[in-house]
């Protein structure tokens, strides 16, 4: 049985044009997906900061009930240090650690008032310009110094 010479000599595989079309489709999908993914990462890291701020508020209330005054630094509340550096997982890390995304502290402390702050570090600072530094007061007032609407 003899094969058709034109079919036998024809190569199998993809052409350059087909490859170019696939690359273009992948590039378009990536152009839409990557910014959304980065925004998701920023929000996830911000959640670690808001969670830590709420934990500070909880410990401050307990400290106030025991001492009739608010604590002036985080170490008095049982945290590892003051200021406190947290990772995107919400764990305390050492100052200067590459995993640190926020630094938390207590400012404007009087016997009956305080403000807990979470300031973004390095990459988080550059990406989260909408919210910037997050604050939480003894009255439960939540704010973002970046002026964003959906920070908490």
Digit-coded pLDDT (tens) for 109-121: 999 999 999 999 9
**Closest to 136 (Cα-Cα) out of 67, 68, 57:** 57
1 within domain boundaries: no
Residue-number span of the structural domain to which 25 is assigned: 15-144
Q: Cα separation of 18 and 5, whole Å?
A: 25
pLDDT exceeding 90 applies to what percent of the chain? Answer: 52
CA 93/CA 103 separation, integer angstroms: 10
The residue ranges of DSSP E strands in 32-121, in sequence order, are 84-87, 92-93, 100-107, 115-120
Note whether residue 82 is domain-resident: yes
> What confidence score (pLDDT) does residue 59 get?
96
Signed CA dihedral, 70, 71, 72, 77: sign only: negative
Number of domains present in the structure of the chain: 1
Residue 56 lies in a domain: yes
pLDDT confidence of 3, banded at 50, 70, 90? low
- Condensed to tens digits (0 to 9), the pLDDT of residues 41-72 reads 889 889 999 999 999 999 999 999 999 999 99
131 within domain boundaries: yes
Give the predicted TM-score (pTM) of the model: 0.76
């Amino acid at each position: 049985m003899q094969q058709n010479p034109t079919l036998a000599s024809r190569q199998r595989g993809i052409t350059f044009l087909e490859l170019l079309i696939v690359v273009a489709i992948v590039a378009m999908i990536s152009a839409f997906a990557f910014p959304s993914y980065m925004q998701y990462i920023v929000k996830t890291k911000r959640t670690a900061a808001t969670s830590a701020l709420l934990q500070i508020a909880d410990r401050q209330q307990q400290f106030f009930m025991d001492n009739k005054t608010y604590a002036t630094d985080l170490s008095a509340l049982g945290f590892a240090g003051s200021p406190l550096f947290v990772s995107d997982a919400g764990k305390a890390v050492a100052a200067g650690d590459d995993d640190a995304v926020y630094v938390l502290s207590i400012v404007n402390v009087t016997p009956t008032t305080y403000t807990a702050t979470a300031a973004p570090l390095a990459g988080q600072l550059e990406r989260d310009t909408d919210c910037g530094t997050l604050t939480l007061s003894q009255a439960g007032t939540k704010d973002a110094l970046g002026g964003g609407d959906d920070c908490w």
